[in-house]
Amino acid sequence: MNTFDLIEKRVSVRTFTEREVDPASRQTLLDYAATLKAPWGHEARFAWVPVTPSDREAQRFGTYGMIQGAQLYLAGAMKQGPGAAEDFGYLFEGILLKATELGLGTCWLGGTFRRGDFTQALALLDDEFIPAVCPVGYASPTKRLKEKLIGTVFQVRQRKPLKDWAIVEGEPGEYREALEAVRLGPSASNKQPWRVHLANGRAHFYLEETPGYNAESVARCGFPIQRLDMGIAFYHWERVLSDQGLVGAWTQNDPKITVPDKWEYVATWSR
């Protein structure tokens, strides 16, 4: 399946059946992760964290009622550094889309889990952090009331129209599908903080932070969570274009063009 179809297919799954994820699928996902190269070259470490019946009883991993029935989590760790969170967003989204291709349900979790329990399971090193974890399994055919409520609060399938977050000079042309792929991306609390300025085959990516949101996540988790959303946007953009035979590179050099004040420059993709 091409990347765009996978992006359209992926939705957050928060209620899982008992069916186990077989070892071959787990290996496929780790093998796929090993093929990915993030824009700024950071590498992440990924590990499977099974949930045992006693973990469940002790409510270990603390996903606070958000996730039900998950037997398995994929957790990731990365060394701190400039651009690390964007790179993690890119890599983890790549794995989650691969999981979608295998028919597996996933849900990005950046906030609603107990970091301490995963720190132990991953044997986290001093200079590493856990940007996110993800339950991986088979989606239950019926949704719980809570899951339906989460869907209403975050308006999960709703996304801002292009004109609200992108400035496109001229016609989008061959970039139309890639823009739509960015638009459909998941983001923390569905805030959709990515912004794009597109002209002459160059796409400048910006972050319009939700006021207070990153500061709160830095205080609570040690990193700005909306930087993960940027990395997800990078993956969607790059991969949909490369499926179309359009290959480009990421650089960081603020073009200092006129964009709304709140847009903070993050990266440029160009051919």
Ligand X SMILES: Cc1cc2nc3c(=O)[nH]c(=O)nc-3n(C[C@H](O)[C@H](O)[C@H](O)COP(=O)(O)O)c2cc1C
Which residues make up the interface to ligand X (CB under 6 A)?
A: 11-12, 66, 107-112, 132, 154, 156, 186-190, 225, 228-229, 232
Q: What angle do CA 146, 148, 149 make, to 5 degrees?
A: 65
**Cα–Cα distance, 232 to 234 (Å, whole number):** 5
If we measure between CA atoms, which residue out of 43, 105, 115 comes closest to residue 78?
Answer: 43
Least distance to ligand X, CB of residue 188, Å: 4
Least distance to ligand X, CB of residue 255, Å: 27
Least distance to ligand X, CB of residue 127, Å: 21
Least distance to ligand X, CB of residue 187, Å: 5
Residue 268: CB atoms within 10 Å: 18
Q: Which residues pair with 250 in a beta bridge?
A: 269
Angle, in degrees to the nearest 10, between helices 213-221 and 226-243: 110
Six-digit token string for 69: 């029935």
**Cα–Cα distance, 225 to 216 (Å, whole number):** 9
167 or 195, CB closer to ligand X?
195
54 or 152, CB closer to ligand X?
152
**Cα–Cα distance, 236 to 73 (Å, whole number):** 23
Residue type, 185: G
Least distance to ligand X, CB of residue 232, Å: 6
225 or 240, CB closer to ligand X?
225
190 or 214, CB closer to ligand X?
190
Query: Strand ranges (DSSP E) for the chain?
Result: 44-50, 72-79, 105-106, 128-129, 133-137, 166-168, 194-199, 202-207, 249-251, 264-270
11 or 47, CB closer to ligand X?
11
84 or 107, CB closer to ligand X?
107
Least distance to ligand X, CB of residue 194, Å: 11
